[in-house]
A and B are shown apart, each in its own frame.
Chain A
Amino acid sequence: MDAYMPYVLCMILFCIGIYAILSKRNIIKIILGVVIAEYAVNLFLVLVAYKAGGRAAIFSETEVILPESMVDPLPHALVLTSIVIGLATTAFLIALAIRLYGKYGTFDITRMRELRG
């Protein structure tokens, strides 16, 4: 089980984010839960890509670096995209939260009566 310990800690972080989304009434706390869950998923992908004793995936002109000694570069490239898209969605959520505060005067989602389904 020791070999999976970083994955377990990463999953705990994800569960904290999901718990915040499901149980909090304050809309800013819900946004923070989304942000934490997103960080945990990015971290999981980079953890999967790590090779023990590996080097960063950058070649050098003065030094011979074997391709076999590098960490996996493909999840890094995809996580790079995912981080930027995460910032965009977070900014949109914050804009919606500011607008809702302007309309209802509160961040509490149970007091926003007209949004009830």
Chain B
Amino acid sequence: MIELYVLLGLMIAGAIISIEVKNLLSAVVAVGIVGLGLSIIFLLLKAPDVALTQIVVEIVAVILLIRATLHREIAQKSCGSRPFGAIMGILFLGFAVIAALVTFSSGLNPFGEPLMTVSRFYPMNAISGTGAINVVSSVILDYRAYDTLGEATVLFTAVIGVLTVMRSVGKKKEEDLQENNE
């Protein structure tokens, strides 16, 4: 699995570049490295459905971020750090290392040996139970279809929220304009 380590190193380099570079457009493009490397890693880890979704989502997210950063006057000064936040970040890093050591020493399975206690049921019964040859789609569309319904609800709520925030003319103002015209 040497290619996995190479891609993970590339993603970490892209992440460091994207949070430390001065130009905001370069930072957004560097996040594109992280997302597209992630989709290749999903392919290597035998998850083709997740890889396809990740490519689409990454491209849409980068387009939205470029929309937010284009044509803005970018003050070089605003890319600085907050010292208090940096100290808190380093403290969090220490806690994360301790938590990882505890987790690794007490029962997380090594890489390549999944714990198949719950999910052994799905590959065994997917064809006879649902008729789908893709086990992932049988899980998201049949066994756990309420999960997909909740996902659609969250997506709809987020779209409503974006439209509400981005609407340039409020309703009251329109009524005022109509009254002025009359």
Please give, as numbers and ranges, the residues of chain B lying within 8 Å of A49 by CB-CB distance. Answer: 45, 47, 114
Nearest-neighbour CB distance to chain B for A72, whole angstroms, equals 4
- The complex places the Cα of A67 from the Cα of B147 at a distance, in Å, of 24
What size tier do the contact residues of chain B reach?
35 or more
Q: Is there contact, CB below 8 Å, between B155 and A50?
A: no
A64 interface residue (CB < 8 Å to B): no
Q: Is there contact, CB below 8 Å, between B8 and A6?
A: yes
Nearest-neighbour CB distance to chain B for A117, whole angstroms, equals 15
Q: Is there contact, CB below 8 Å, between B119 and A87?
A: no
Given contacts A3-B111, A9-B5, A101-B72, contact A89 B119 (CB under 8 A): no
Q: Which of A76, A88, A97, A108 contacts B78 (CB 8 A)?
A: A108
Interface residues of A in 34-60 (CB under 8 A from B): 35-36, 39, 42-43, 46-52, 54-60
- The complex places the Cα of A12 from the Cα of B93 at a distance, in Å, of 9
B133 interface residue (CB < 8 Å to A): yes
CB-based A-B contact count at 8 angstroms? 268
What are the interface flags for A75-94 relative to B under an 8 Å C-beta threshold, 1 for contact and 0 otherwise?
11111110111111111101
Given contacts A78-B147, A87-B61, contact A55 B93 (CB under 8 A): no
Please give, as numbers and ranges, the residues of chain A lying within 8 Å of B96 by CB-CB distance. Answer: 11, 14-15, 18
**Max chain B Cβ within 10 angstroms of own Cβ: one of A80, A81, A96:** A80
- The complex places the Cα of A81 from the Cα of B136 at a distance, in Å, of 12
Given contacts A36-B34, A57-B123, contact A43 B41 (CB under 8 A): yes
User: CB-nearest residue of chain A relative to B154?
Assistant: A85
- The complex places the Cα of A42 from the Cα of B92 at a distance, in Å, of 20
Q: Is there contact, CB below 8 Å, between B15 and A16?
A: yes
Q: Is there contact, CB below 8 Å, between B155 and A24?
A: no
Interface residues of B in 92-114 (CB under 8 A from A): 92-93, 96, 100, 104, 108-114
